[in-house]
Amino acid sequence: MPRLLLQLYKSHIMGFHEEFDPYTFLAKLTSIYQATNRTIFNWTDSQIVEWEKFSELAKYEPEFQKPTVKALLIVTYSVITIMSLFGNMLVCHVPFIVNLAVSDIMITLLNMPFTLVRFVNSTWVFGKAMCHISGFVQYCSLHISTLTLTDIALDRHQVKCHLISVPVQGSSQAPASLS
């Protein structure tokens, strides 16, 4: 294929000063490319339709379509969502923990409901944009959690290796060290 394209290119370059029509040149290149771009999967339209039917049937249906499993998923996700929101609201007063709480709240509000609907319906029903947003929020939350835990570990390491002297309030004694 590259030889054919190169020969066609050379023949047109040699005669470039003559009438050169880029549209016919592009049409010739496209036809050569299409003629030589064959794969081992030369499917007909009917074979493609068969494949689409098969892929539609290949969803994960059996377990998730049972009403009891759907009800269990809904109850479980609801309990986890409520507990997550309540628990993360309680710890929002500790500086390092605020990042972790915000990360968990992002997952709770922007991922868990969509994941539940996806499991119950066996397919994504919220469109392409929400699919991307949901994935983005998931990865952001993961990175926030990981970096915050790394920051906490580094902070604890610094405190342990380089003892920080803090005076004890209400006392005239020597400063106590934190560990």
Same domain for 75 and 142?
A: yes
Do the Cβ atoms of 84 and 113 come closer than 8 Å?
Answer: no
d(CA 172, CA 158): 27
Same domain for 79 and 147?
A: yes
In-domain check, residue 178: no
Is the whole-model pTM more than 0.85?
no
Look at 43 and 75; give whichever has higher pLDDT. Answer: 75
pLDDT band at 17 (very low <50, low <70, confident <90, very high): very low
Same domain for 95 and 21?
A: no
- Tell me how crowded residue 124 is: count the other CB atoms within 10 A of its CB: 14
Domain span at residue 30 reads 1-36
Look at 9 and 105; give whichever has higher pLDDT. Answer: 105
In-domain check, residue 53: no
- The closest of 82, 85, 61, 75 to 116, measured between CA atoms, is 75
127: left (phi over 0), alpha (psi -120 to 50) or beta: left
Lowest mean pLDDT among 13-27, 103-117, 136-150: 13-27
Digit-coded pLDDT (tens) for 64-122:
567 888 888 899 999 999 999 998 888 888 777 888 898 899 999 989 999 888 888 87
Q: Token pair of 21, please?
A: 């029509």
Look at 66 and 34; give whichever has higher pLDDT. Answer: 66
> Number of structural domains, the chain?
2
Same domain for 72 and 156?
A: yes
Same domain for 72 and 14?
A: no
Same domain for 98 and 157?
A: yes
Per-residue confidence (pLDDT) for residue 124, from 0 to 100: 85
Per-residue confidence (pLDDT) for residue 42, from 0 to 100: 62
Average pLDDT, the chain: 75
pLDDT band at 43 (very low <50, low <70, confident <90, very high): low
Same domain for 131 and 76?
A: yes
As a whole-number percent, the residues of the chain with pLDDT over 90 amount to 18
Residue 37, pLDDT above cutoff 90: no
